[in-house]
């Protein structure tokens, strides 16, 4: 029996229930908030381990990619069980791991976008009106493909890494205003969600960061040739372990993303993992494969 729900779309309500139950079951697990979304939802994070090596994982920068929140929550549950039971995966002994790493996981960076993608206009939306959201969405009430936050800003285009170049490319694609995807906003960190994630990253000073997205079974590890030799080596190892492809972002995707900003500003290994394969939003039937592809990669990262 597992605590984390794997049987329905992973909304903010499911996340909050699972967080509460995980922390109740595992007293060594700490939950805290990194800030609040536009609609006032908490950007929950979990802390595991007392070690020196700081690792930050996050999921669901993009609304319809909520399966990455499910993935990170299920991974945290696995870490807690293994630690409590004194067990190991491969040669990684979890009681030793607990003392060697300081892991912080923010499973849902964009809770408003997830809610909108799953529940459409039935979501709780203040301060944004439904009329305005519909206009952001090309006058459609089908929000199932929504990626942005509730202001229509794509959070993974809202970081301070060649932001102006990203805006230039957007204009070439005809994107000038809020919408379901790819609008970067008026300035880096203009949105409370990206600001909170950037603030936490600056304060936490991780040795390693991973942003989970869907889909493509691809690992992105570089930004403008700035990745370290260590970052490249780790990406190659992960690709070998999982069968995921290695790639370098091109065009739009290669500006103002979270991993771009981390590589440029913090000079540490940072990755975007595009989990799963198919059409977003990925169906829950893919979850097991995603979990069993990604857990070994993470086991490598935490012990590398
Ligand atoms: Zn994404």
Q: Which residues have CB less than 5 Å away from ligand 1 (the ion)?
A: 62, 65, 213
Strand partners for 101: 53
Alpha carbon distances (Å) from 282 to 5, 91, 242, 257, 273? 16, 32, 19, 21, 15
Q: Which CATH number is 52's domain given? A: 3.40.630.10
In the chain the first and final C-alpha atoms are separated, in Å, by 30
Given this model, what pLDDT does residue 126 score?
80
Span from the CA of 91 to the centroid of ligand 1 (angstroms): 32
Given this model, what pLDDT does residue 143 score?
97
Span from the CA of 26 to the centroid of ligand 1 (angstroms): 30
- Quick check: is 207 in a domain? yes
Q: Which of the four pLDDT bands, split at 50, 70 and 90, describes residue 194?
A: very high
| Residues sharing a CB contact under 8 Å with residue 131, sequence separation 6 or more, in sequence order | none
Given this model, what pLDDT does residue 123 score?
79
- Quick check: is 173 in a domain? no
Q: Residue 270 and residue 220: Cα distance in Å, rounded?
A: 9
Given this model, what pLDDT does residue 253 score?
56
Q: Residue 39 and residue 151: Cα distance in Å, rounded?
A: 10
- Quick check: is 234 in a domain? yes
The whole-chain average pLDDT of the chain stands at 96
| Residues sharing a CB contact under 8 Å with residue 2, sequence separation 6 or more, in sequence order | 74, 77
Joined together, the tokens standing for residue 118 give: 């799953």
Span from the CA of 24 to the centroid of ligand 1 (angstroms): 31
94 and 79 Cβ atoms separated by less than 8 Å: yes
Span from the CA of 233 to the centroid of ligand 1 (angstroms): 24
pTM, two decimals, is 0.97
What is the tally of structural domains in the chain? 1
Span from the CA of 2 to the centroid of ligand 1 (angstroms): 27
Is the omega angle on the peptide bond into residue 215 within 30 degrees of 0, that is, cis? yes
- Quick check: is 258 in a domain? yes
Average of per-residue pLDDT across 34-43:
97
- Quick check: is 197 in a domain? yes
Phi, psi of 224 (to 5 degrees): 50, 40
Q: What are the tens digits of pLDDT across the range 225-254? A: 999 999 999 999 999 999 999 987 655 557
- Quick check: is 175 in a domain? no
Average of per-residue pLDDT across 204-226:
96
Span from the CA of 157 to the centroid of ligand 1 (angstroms): 10
Span from the CA of 181 to the centroid of ligand 1 (angstroms): 10
Domain that holds residue 77: 12-114+188-303
Given this model, what pLDDT does residue 254 score?
72
Q: What are the tens digits of pLDDT across the range 81-121? A: 999 999 999 999 999 999 999 999 999 999 999 999 999 99
Span from the CA of 60 to the centroid of ligand 1 (angstroms): 7
Span from the CA of 207 to the centroid of ligand 1 (angstroms): 22
Span from the CA of 65 to the centroid of ligand 1 (angstroms): 6
Q: At what angle do helices 287-303 and 67-85 cross, to 10 degrees?
A: 60
Picking from 31-35, 85-89, 189-193, 222-226, which range would have the lowest pLDDT averaged per residue? 222-226
- Quick check: is 148 in a domain? no
Percentage of residues in the chain with pLDDT exceeding 90? 93
Span from the CA of 212 to the centroid of ligand 1 (angstroms): 7
pLDDT of 211 above 90: yes
Average of per-residue pLDDT across 182-186:
96
Q: Residue 59 and residue 298: Cα distance in Å, rounded?
A: 14
Q: Which of the four pLDDT bands, split at 50, 70 and 90, describes residue 204?
A: very high
Average of per-residue pLDDT across 212-227:
95
Span from the CA of 66 to the centroid of ligand 1 (angstroms): 10
Span from the CA of 28 to the centroid of ligand 1 (angstroms): 31
223 and 166 Cβ atoms separated by less than 8 Å: no
Residue 149's Cα: distance from chain center in Å?
A: 13
* 3-state SS class at 64: helix
Given this model, what pLDDT does residue 125 score?
79
């Amino acid at each position: 029996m597992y605590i984390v729900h794997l049987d329905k779309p992973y909304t903010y309500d499911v996340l909050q229930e699972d967080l509460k139950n995980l922390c109740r079951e595992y007293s060594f697990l700490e939950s805290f908030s990194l800030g609040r979304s536009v609609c006032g939802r908490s950007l929950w994070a979990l802390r595991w381990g007392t070690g020196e090596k700081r690792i930050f994982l996050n999921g669901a920068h993009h609304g319809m990619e909520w399966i990455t929140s499910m993935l990170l929550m299920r991974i945290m549950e696995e870490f807690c069980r293994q630690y409590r039971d004194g067990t190991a995966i491969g040669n990684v002994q979890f009681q030793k791991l607990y003392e060697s790493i300081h892991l912080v996981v923010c499973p849902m960076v964009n809770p408003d976008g997830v809610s909108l993608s799953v529940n459409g206009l039935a979501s709780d939306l203040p301060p944004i009106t439904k009329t305005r959201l519909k206009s952001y969405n090309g006058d459609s009430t089908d929000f199932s493909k929504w990626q942005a936050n509730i202001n229509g800003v794509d959070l993974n285009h809202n970081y301070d890494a060649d932001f102006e170049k990203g805006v230039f490319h957007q204009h070439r694609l005809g994107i000038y205003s809020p919408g379901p995807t790819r609008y970067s906003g008026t300035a880096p960190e203009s949105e409370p969600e990206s600001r909170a994630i950037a603030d936490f990253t600056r304060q936490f000073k991780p040795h390693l960061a991973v942003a989970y997205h869907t889909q493509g079974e691809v690992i992105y590890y570089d930004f403008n040739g700035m990745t370290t030799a260590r970052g490249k080596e780790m990406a190659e190892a992960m690709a070998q372990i999982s069968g995921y492809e290695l790639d370098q972002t091109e065009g739009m995707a290669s500006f103002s993303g979270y991993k771009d900003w981390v590589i440029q500003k913090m000079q540490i290994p940072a990755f975007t993992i595009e989990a799963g394969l198919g059409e977003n939003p990925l169906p829950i039937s893919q979850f097991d494969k995603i979990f069993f592809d990604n857990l070994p990669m993470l086991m490598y990262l935490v012990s590398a």
